Structures are given as structure tokens and as C-alpha cells.
Amino acid sequence: MQMEQLNREETVISCRNLSKKFHTPEGMVEAVARLDLDVKQNEFLVLFGPGQCGKSTVINCLAGLDEASGGEMMLGQKKMKGPGPDRGVVYQTINLFPWLTVMGNVEFGLKHQGVDKKTRQEKARHYIRLVGLDGFEDSYPNQLSGGMKQRVGIARAYCIEPEVLLMDEPFGHLDAQTRYLMQEEIIRIWELEKRTVIFVTNNIEEAVYLADRIIVLSEKPARVKAEYKISLNRPRDYVDPEFLRLRQEIMGISFDGE
């Protein structure tokens, strides 16, 4: 499929010729090669592809945690370089501070920014309620289930009110039932508190369930292989004939040879 031409005024993130190479004992490895990407305001974009294809490397470059080897990344009119509060990140493994409560973890970013206690705790309470953890403000991470920890991570990322939320396989370690529940929850939260979301997964059902648009990446080095605009109404039905057709077609494209 041809990439849609995006209205420049709607574009929040753009990448041009993004590349990333790593030095390894076996030599130079190219993880991402000449990747072009445009992401619209408030869009739920999913990066889908096989395991170890470079999806997480793209997220780490966008987050400013890895320095790109080449190309340009823009957030609005600003070049992206290094981490910043304009991007929130949620990973598969949520690194909550074990000595802090749910409130302490969620407000941490605002505290680091110097926001006064009253303001930051009001915001933190709002996002704790939003993710369904009202009443758990004083709980510690070791008292929470895996799904609850992910909710804390999502609340923490939302609390700094970033322009873009980067999510790298956040539900990958959850059991199937909790994963389905969290997929429903992240859409509910996103619809209430719109943000531009870039979500990485290698689970095709998750991709079709969540996405406004799916970018299919090739095997390493990651390039854009195909793009699908997903127009299914929400909430989506996993056994809807169009859902199943898209699932089959995208899987076929993803695992076809170049």
C-alpha cells in the first residue's frame, strides 16, 4: 500500500532516512535503514513486525535513549535529540521505584521537573483514577499485580503530559486475559486523554485491535514494508470478518520475502 500524504499541519513526529547501526564483536550491525515515518496528532500508530526486526530500536531513537546513526527526527518544528518531557515512554518491563508508593511513582516526573507538591499530587491523583487505581495511592509495587504495575507505568507516562506516548510491547509479559483487558483499557484511556501514541508489538491481533494505522516493518534492518489504515469501529471484535481479513493480509505481508 502507498503511504498516505499527511497534512503537514497534522504531523507531530516525522523521521527522514532514520538509520541506526551498532558495533558488535561480529562487526557492524544495521538495525534500522533509511526509515521514513510521519505520525499525526492524536493518532494511535502501531509499528508491527517480526521479533528482533528493529522496532524497539526505532522507539529508543524516538525516545532519545539511542542516538541515531543517520537521518533526521522532528517533533513538530524541533529536532529531537536526547530524552525530553515531550515524550513519555512505557516499556514491557515497568521499572517502578520499589521504595516509592503508587503516588510517589506517578508524581516522580513532575517532582523531578520542580512542580510543587500540591499541583503534582492533584495531577497524579487524576491519572491514578484514570487508569483505575483509585484507592491504591499508598500501595507499593510489590503489592501490585503485573497488570496493575502496567497501569502505574501508563499513569506515570501520562502525568508529565507529553505530546507523544511511546509504548514498546507494554503488554508482552502479561497473561492472555490480562493482556486483552489492558488493550481495552489503553484504548479507553487514549479516547479520554488524547495523545499521539506510537505502540510497538509483534502480536497481530493486538495491532489490529488498537491501531488507527499499522506500519509493517521488514526484517532487520527495519524499513517500512507496508502501511494499513484501520477503519474498523471501536470497540473492535476479534472475530469480525473484516478484522480476520486484515489479520491474515497483514501477517502475509509481514512474513513474505522482500
Burial class (CB within 10 angstroms; exposed 0-12, middle 13-18, buried 19+) of 145: exposed
Peptide bond into 141 cis (omega under 30): no
Give the up-direction half-sphere exposure of residue 40: CA atoms within 13 A in the CB hemisphere. Answer: 15
Query: What DSSP element (H or E) covers 38?
Result: strand 27-40
Helix (H, G, I), strand (E, B) or coil at 133: coil
Predicted TM-score of the model (pTM):
0.92
Cα 72 to Cα 74: distance, rounded to the nearest angstrom: 7
**pLDDT at residue number 7:** 45
Burial class (CB within 10 angstroms; exposed 0-12, middle 13-18, buried 19+) of 235: exposed
Helix (H, G, I), strand (E, B) or coil at 98: coil
**pLDDT at residue number 5:** 39
Burial class (CB within 10 angstroms; exposed 0-12, middle 13-18, buried 19+) of 16: middle
Regions in the chain scoring below 70 on pLDDT? 1-9, 257-258
Q: Tens digits of per-residue pLDDT, 190-235?
A: 999 999 999 999 999 999 999 999 999 998 899 999 999 999 999 9
Is residue 54 a contact partner of residue 15, using CB atoms and an 8 Å limit?
no
**pLDDT at residue number 3:** 39
